[in-house]
């Protein structure tokens, strides 16, 4: 009886001595592995962040060098949180485009209906659209025909294709102005600085007859 009791006590003690270190070693190893993996993830994320920042800085630097000097930031009245566009200014801008820009630059993504309620009334816009002729069809006989423009039509193109545009502009291709403020660095500031930056060439500077001097 005493021997059996001693055997049970020794067995329990042996089990407690062998189990605790094993569990402690397993827990410590698992903790170390998790800590190592967490450290590796942190380093990887940090490296990705640094690479992204350097890549962004490189792109921004290349963008600046491509577009030259930075355009100034103008105090636009519509840049505030609660501000809106001046509809009279939009109307004047469209008139300037029609009279000056439309002979070379297209706005292929803009339809006449986009002007309704923004710069003109619906009747004014319909009258404006009807002044152009649009090639449509085919008709029941399979032939193309021309018709007056309507609100759903896009603005007319100044040239039939890119080759014709380059030929008429000394090899330069006039960009489409539909999304020009999104396609250029510093958007509307760039466009305004460009439009107001043309001057007569200084003495001794010769400019091709189809080009203009931009200061």
Annotated binding site for heme c: 101, 104-105
Task: Name residue, tokens 């820009």.
Answer: 101
What would you report as the CA-atom Rg of the chain, rounded to the nearest whole angstrom? 36
CA 212 to centroid of chain Cα atoms: 29
Which two structure tokens, joined as six digits, stand for 169? 């502009």
CA distance linking residue 73 with residue 170, whole number of Å: 32
CB atoms within 10 A of CB 106: 20
Can you read off the two tokens belonging to residue 37?
């993996």
Query: Shortest CA distance to 32 belongs to which of 22, 40, 44, 20?
Result: 40
How far, in Å, are 8, 17, 27, 41 from residue 14 at the CA level? 10, 5, 20, 41
214 token code pair: 């931009």
DSSP SS3 for 136:
strand
Annotated binding site: 101, 104-105
């Amino acid at each position: 009886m005493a021997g059996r009791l001693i055997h049970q006590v020794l067995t329990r003690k042996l089990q407690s001595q062998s189990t605790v270190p094993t569990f402690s070693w397993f827990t410590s190893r698992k903790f170390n592995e998790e800590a190592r993996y967490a450290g590796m993830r942190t380093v990887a994320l940090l490296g990705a962040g640094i690479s992204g920042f350097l890549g962004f800085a490189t792109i921004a630097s290349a963008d600046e060098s491509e577009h030259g000097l930075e355009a100034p930031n103008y105090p636009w009245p519509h840049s505030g949180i609660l501000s809106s566009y001046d509809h009279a200014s939009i109307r004047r801008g469209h008139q300037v485009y029609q009279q000056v820009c439309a002979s070379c630059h297209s706005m292929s993504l803009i339809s006449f209906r986009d002007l309704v309620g923004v710069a003109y009334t619906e009747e004014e816009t319909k009258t404006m659209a009807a002044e152009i002729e649009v090639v449509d069809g085919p008709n029941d006989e399979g032939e193309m025909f021309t018709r007056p423009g309507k609100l759903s039509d896009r603005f007319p193109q100044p040239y039939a294709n890119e080759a014709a545009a380059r030929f008429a502009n000394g090899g330069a291709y006039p960009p489409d102005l539909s999304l020009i403020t999104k396609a250029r660095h510093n958007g509307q500031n760039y466009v305004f600085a460009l439009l107001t930056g043309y001057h007569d060439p200084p003495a001794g500077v010769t400019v091709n007859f189809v080009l203009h001097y931009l200061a």
